Amino acid sequence: MKPSRYHRNRQPYNWLVYHNLDKSLEKHSKYYKGILVDLGCGEAPYKEYFLQYADKYVGVDWSNTLHNFKADIVSDLNEKIELEDDYADTVVSISTIEHLREPENFLKEANRILKQNGYFILQVPWQWRVHEAPYDFFRYTPYGLTYLFEKAGFNVLEINAVGGFFAMMFLKTNYFTLRFIRGPKFLKTIVKTLLIPFWTINQIAAMILDGIDKEKFKLIEAPGYFVVAQKEKQCR
C-alpha cells in the first residue's frame, strides 16, 4: 500500500509532492513500530499505511484544525500534549511544525512522550508558498532543524531533501498557474483541462532532472525536508 493512496489532496498540479513524500516515508519504514503517534494528524491519511508496520496508531491534533478532524487525542501542539511520558515507540509529524507558533515546545513534548531511543520522523516544507494562513509561521533550513532537534534532546540521524530544485521550481510554477483558473464553472473546466498536460510534463521532467542532481545541491534548493531523529535524553 502506498502512503498517499488515501490522500485526497493529490491533484494534477501537485502529485509530485505526494510521490516524493511516498518515497521518503517508504525509505524509512523500518522506524515505524510499536505505538506510533502522529502529531498534527488532521484527516489521518497515513493511518492505514503506518499500521502495516506499527502495532497501534494514535492521531493527535487540535480541534480547530483546518482539516477534517480525525484525531484520537485532542491537544494544542503548541502546549502540553495529552499523553504520558515515555509513551510512544515512534513519533511522526507531516507538514505540521511550520504551523506552530511554539516549535521548540513542540519538539520538547515529542521528546517527552517518546521512549528512550525512540524515533521521531518529521517532514517540513522549506521553499514553499504561505498556506493555511494565518497559521503559517516558519520555514526551516537543515541547520535550523538540526539546532532545534538537538536542543530538544534528539540526535539527528539524517536530513534529506524531499525533491530538489526542479521539483521546487515546477511546483511553484504550477501553483502560480492556478491563479488563472477563474470565472464560470465551464470556463474553469476548460482552462484546467488545457493546463493538465503542462502540469504533467513539467512534473515528470522534474523527477528526471532531480534524479541526476547531486544530493548536496538538493539540500540547498528543495521544496522540503525529511528529518529522522532519535531521543537521546529526556529534555525538561
pLDDT tens-digit profile of 161-189?
999 999 999 999 999 999 888 888 888 89
Residue 42, pLDDT above cutoff 70: yes
pLDDT at residue 2 in the model: 65
The β-bridge relationship of strands 56-61 and 73-74 is parallel
Average pLDDT over residues 22-27: 94
Average pLDDT over residues 119-147: 93
* Total residue length of the chain: 236
b/e burial code for range 130-150 (CB count within 10 A of at least 16 → b): eeeeeeeeeebebeebbebbe
Q: Indicate whether this model's pTM tops 0.75.
A: yes
What residue ranges define each of the domains in the chain, with the CATH number in brackets?
15-164+217-231 (3.40.50.150)
pLDDT at residue 69 in the model: 74
Residue 53's alpha-carbon distances to 5, 32, 46, 63, in angstroms, are 16, 6, 12, 27
pLDDT at residue 68 in the model: 67
Residue 147, pLDDT above cutoff 60: yes
C-alpha cell at 3: 502512503
| 60-117 pLDDT per residue, tens | 998 766 666 789 999 999 999 999 999 999 999 999 999 999 999 999 999 999 999 9
pLDDT at residue 67 in the model: 63
Q: Which of 9-18, 63-72, 132-141, 149-158 has the highest mean pLDDT?
A: 149-158
Within 23-134, strands assigned E span 35-39, 56-61, 73-74, 88-94, 114-125
Residue 181's alpha-carbon distances to 96, 131, 174, 185, in angstroms, are 28, 18, 12, 9
pLDDT at residue 236 in the model: 61
pLDDT at residue 225 in the model: 96
